Amino acid sequence: MTAPTPPRLTLERIDTRVLSVPLRRPIVGKVGEYSHWPFILVDVVTKEGIVGHGYLEPYHASATRSITALIDDMATQQRGKPIAPFDRFGEAIAEVRRAVGDDIVLMSDFNQGQSLTSALRLLHALDDQGLEWFEEPIVFDDYAGCARLANELKTPVSIGENIFGPRDFLHAVQAGAADCYMPDLMRIGGVTGWLRAAAIAGAANLPLSSHLYPEFSAHLLRVSESADWLEWRDWGNPFLAEPFPVRQGAIHLPDRPGAGIAWDEAAVEKFSV
């Protein structure tokens, strides 16, 4: 029996927002700094009422030109054209690359949304697309399934934000569940749990990135042997007396005790529920 052809969707508009400035590798030798590029959220709305969300994370220096202008160009080019259905991710990636250029690092996050069977089929099809990683393609604690994907695919597999504690982190590493990890500071067990997990990742020579909590995570990545990417969000800035400064593509860690966080008590009071 022949499967029905997925419907083609007609694009109505693409909206873009520069959310924040996260994610680039640390500058070696400059203690207290992490560099990053603008982080773009793309909202896609179709005439059928279907809304999709995508992220663009620039990496190369040439991407410092107006990313918003590039995305606006993409919106102009794509307006009225059909969006590739879900079984044509490769075409969608190619469209993004044509719009923003090859010097943009593209990452994919499946949020545990695939079964192992569907992930094997889909990720093999996407394996030569030059993506930075496949994040959480299947349920995160299926370490055997994740290991199979990591072994079969050229594109790195990334997990970690849902791992609770350094012992489970060790189990994932022992199982070969991923090529790179991005623990969540809260779930991994705070500063102590992070340092223990970082030691495991460092000993195994596995790249370690962060998930949220950037003000703390930036400090901890500075002392993590295999530090890779800092996930930066400025969501806490409205509540901080002195938000961490971002200058010339780098977040500068303050020379203050602890994480250097000082609350804006008036703002906290204003937004209290």
Strand partners, 20: 39
Give the distance, in angstroms, between the CA of residue 244 and the centroid of all CA atoms in the same chain: 20
Q: How confident is the model at residue 249 (pLDDT cuts 50, 70, 90)?
A: low
Q: Which residues contact 20 (CB under 8 A, 6 or more apart)?
A: 39, 232, 233, 234, 235
pLDDT of residue 27: 29
Q: Which residue, 96, 92, 142, 97, is CA-closest to 119? A: 142
Q: Check residue 204 and report its DSSP letter.
A: T
End-to-end CA distance of the chain: 57
Q: Which residues contact 227 (CB under 8 A, 6 or more apart)?
A: 26, 207, 208, 209, 221
**CA-CA distance, 273 to 271, in Å (whole number)?**
6
For helices 190-203 and 214-222, angle between their N-to-C axes, nearest 10 degrees: 40
Output the six-digit token pair for 190: 């705070």
Percent of the chain exceeding pLDDT 90 equals 33
In terms of C-beta density within 10 A (0-12 exposed, 13-18 middle, 19 or more buried), how is residue 158 classed?
A: buried
CB atoms within 10 A of CB 53: 8
Least-confidence region, from 27-36, 64-73, 160-169, 259-268 = 27-36
pLDDT at residue 163 greater than cutoff 70? yes
Across the chain, what does the average pLDDT equal? Answer: 74
